[in-house]
Amino acid sequence: MTPGIVHLGIGNWHRAHQAIYTDDCLAAGQLDWGDCSLLRSSDTRDALAPQDGLYTVVSRQDEQTSLRIVGSIGHILVAPAGPAQLLEALLDPRIRIVTLTVTEKGYTVISGGGSGHEPAHAGFDGTTASLLPAAAR
């Protein structure tokens, strides 16, 4: 699996919806649609790492419950750990789609604000709102 999508903010909604569609493409043999995900904190990355990025989605409808193992998230990058990696991911020529599911928390500084990090790229101040325009320059 190689990355074809960069996604900002892999919260529950993304993992239970968008990532499943990507997983369907992978299952159909379209292996160049892996998901490279960008996060503000390492919690989700650390939870998925021991499982090689795999997780289970539980669906319930009426009296039926179904379980699905999802494996479309290939890479997870954490902003404070490597802000330059975020821009590198967006500039990867294999990336064809950039998606985001960002709550109000994601509009604040993601590089740790005031931590002394130098901007990874001119115009990137560590916020979600500045990341995409910085990559487009």
User: Which residues 6+ apart lie within 8 Å of 55 measured at CB?
Assistant: 15, 48, 69, 70, 73
Mean pLDDT of 95-99: 94
Give how many domains the chain has, as a whole number.
1
Residue 137 lies in a domain: no
Residue 122 lies in a domain: no
- Domain residues for the domain of 90 are 3-103
pLDDT score for 41: 83
Q: Which candidate, 15, 37, 11, 24, places its Cα nearest to that of 97?
A: 37
Residue 125 lies in a domain: no
Residue 23 lies in a domain: yes
pLDDT score for 135: 75
Residue 35 lies in a domain: yes
Q: What is the pLDDT of residues 7-24, one digit of tens each?
A: 988 889 999 999 999 999
What global pTM score does this model have? 0.78
Mean pLDDT of 90-111: 77
Q: What is the pLDDT of residues 25-52, one digit of tens each?
A: 999 999 999 999 988 788 999 999 999 9
Q: Which of 67-71, 95-99, 101-105, 126-130 has the lowest mean pLDDT?
A: 126-130
Q: Which of 15-24, 36-45, 99-108, 114-123 has the lowest mean pLDDT?
A: 114-123
pLDDT score for 114: 42
